[in-house]
Amino acid sequence: MKILVTGAEGFIGRNLCIRLARIDGWQVIPFDLSNDVEYLYAAISEAEAVVHLAGINRPNDPSEFVSGNLGLTSDIAGYLERIGHMTLVIFASSIQAELDNDYGRSKRAAEERLKLYAERTGSCVRIFRFANVFGKWCKPNYNSAVATFCHNVAHDLPIRINDPDIPLRLIYIDDVVAAIIRELELYSISRGFSFANAKPVYATTVGAVADTIHMLHDGRLSGLLPDFSDPLIKKLNSTYLSYLEPQDIPLPANMRRDGRGWLFELVKSIQGGQLFVSTTLPGKKRGNHFHDTKVEKFCVVSGQARISLRRVDGTTRLDFDVDGETVQIVDIPPGYTHSILNTGNENCVTIFWANEIFDPARSDTYYIEV
């Protein structure tokens, strides 16, 4: 299927075109401001579906709403009628179409023009009234609070909020793209004019979003993961990371070095505990302690080591010889004193996981030889 995407260089357009290009048998015909009307008409003649994303939302003059939203839509619908093609049209409208403002009226008028096209030709038209779309590559300081907050926080710039309690309805870019693709896939069994839905839509506030993005920024610097069971937080985190400058993507690890080697915290989570990475020099040992409740996992990924355990009220010692070639994950139950000894000739690299974040005031760590 050949699909004409208008506004292909815009925020939604870029994400959609990349996704469409991965689908076997589908070909994208991109259209944007750099193309002229002759190119548009040639593309319409060739396309089996039109995803109409192009539009105006921040004009210099309000009259541009009509020319940019209704005008282009009328050109597309009118040309399809003239050449007699029953082409699927998917239109990106806005929740603003429900409001009585210049932008909303222009979007509503474009919807009505496409409804007329469907009635005249029997073609399929699907209208999405998108909420505030957020995600990677959205232009900051333009018309997206999420994009502006992510950009400014990532660049240590202030953000200004007049009223933190203003409601905000958000939808994530990948959910928008998935909804559009769904309608393209249903084209063969769809006819007529109707509204389509993109879900999920998240109801929040401007202040809550700003607070979340600040939390994600601070957590990244400290290694504290957010609660990814909340889908909005997960999507806001992905969005925030997309606004980092290239030089800011790497973060230096806080290395703790001693005579045994080095150790650093990789990530930590209130829900999921803490992950460490360490090296242990040949012949050196770590551990010789136990926990009442805390549990851990040891995983040697390079080198050779012996992980030893002994129940603190017993005498039987358990030794597990491990190495980075035949990787094993060793659970450390509570009440077992444990150690790890580098038995090789090279550095031993180990990943440690604990089910809670280390708290010096309540470490649940008691030293005793295995």
d(CA 115, CA 77): 10
Q: Are 223 and 267 in contact (CB under 8 A)?
A: yes
What is the pLDDT, as a whole number, of residue 96? 86
* CA distances for 85 relative to 45, 70, 256, angstroms: 8, 20, 68
Q: Residue 79's CB: how many other CB atoms inside 10 A?
A: 16
Check for a shared fold between 2-138+158-204 and 256-367.
no
Task: Give CA 357 to chain center in angstroms.
Answer: 25
What is the pLDDT, as a whole number, of residue 57? 62
Q: Does the active-site annotation cover 103? A: yes
Which mean pLDDT values do the consecutive 10-residue runs of the chain (370 residues) have?
97 98 97 93 97 76 63 94 95 90 87 96 96 96 94 96 97 98 87 94 98 98 96 98 97 96 96 97 98 98 98 98 97 98 98 96 96
What is the pLDDT, as a whole number, of residue 286? 97
Domain boundaries, the chain: 2-138+158-204, 256-367
d(CA 91, CA 107): 10
Q: Which CATH number fits domain 256-367: 3.40.50.10480, 1.10.10.10, 2.60.40.10, 2.60.120.10?
A: 2.60.120.10
What is the pLDDT, as a whole number, of residue 33? 86
What is the pLDDT, as a whole number, of residue 103? 80
Helix (H) or strand (E) holding 195: strand 192-196
What is the pLDDT, as a whole number, of residue 71? 86
The pair of three-digit structure tokens given for residue 26, joined into one six-digit string: 């589908």
The pair of three-digit structure tokens given for residue 257, joined into one six-digit string: 């070095």
By residue count, the chain amounts to 370
pTM for the whole structure: 0.91
Q: Work out the angle at residue 115's Cα, subtended by the Cα atoms of residues 93 and 197, and round it to the nearest 5 degrees.
A: 40
Runs of H (alpha helix) within 223-274: 231-241
What is the pLDDT, as a whole number, of residue 68? 62
CATH superfamily of 2-138+158-204: NAD(P)-binding Rossmann-like Domain (3.40.50.720)
Q: Work out the angle at residue 271's Cα, subtended by the Cα atoms of residues 269 and 272, and round it to the nearest 5 degrees.
A: 65
What is the pLDDT, as a whole number, of residue 97? 87
Which candidate in 39, 79, 103, 142 is catalytic? 103
Task: Give CA 362 to chain center in angstroms.
Answer: 35
d(CA 311, CA 334): 9
3-class SS string, 296-316: EEEEEEECEEEEEEEECCCCC
Q: Are 305 and 348 in contact (CB under 8 A)?
A: yes
Kindly report, residue by residue over 155-200, the tens digit of the pLDDT. 999 999 999 999 999 999 999 999 999 999 998 777 899 999 999 9
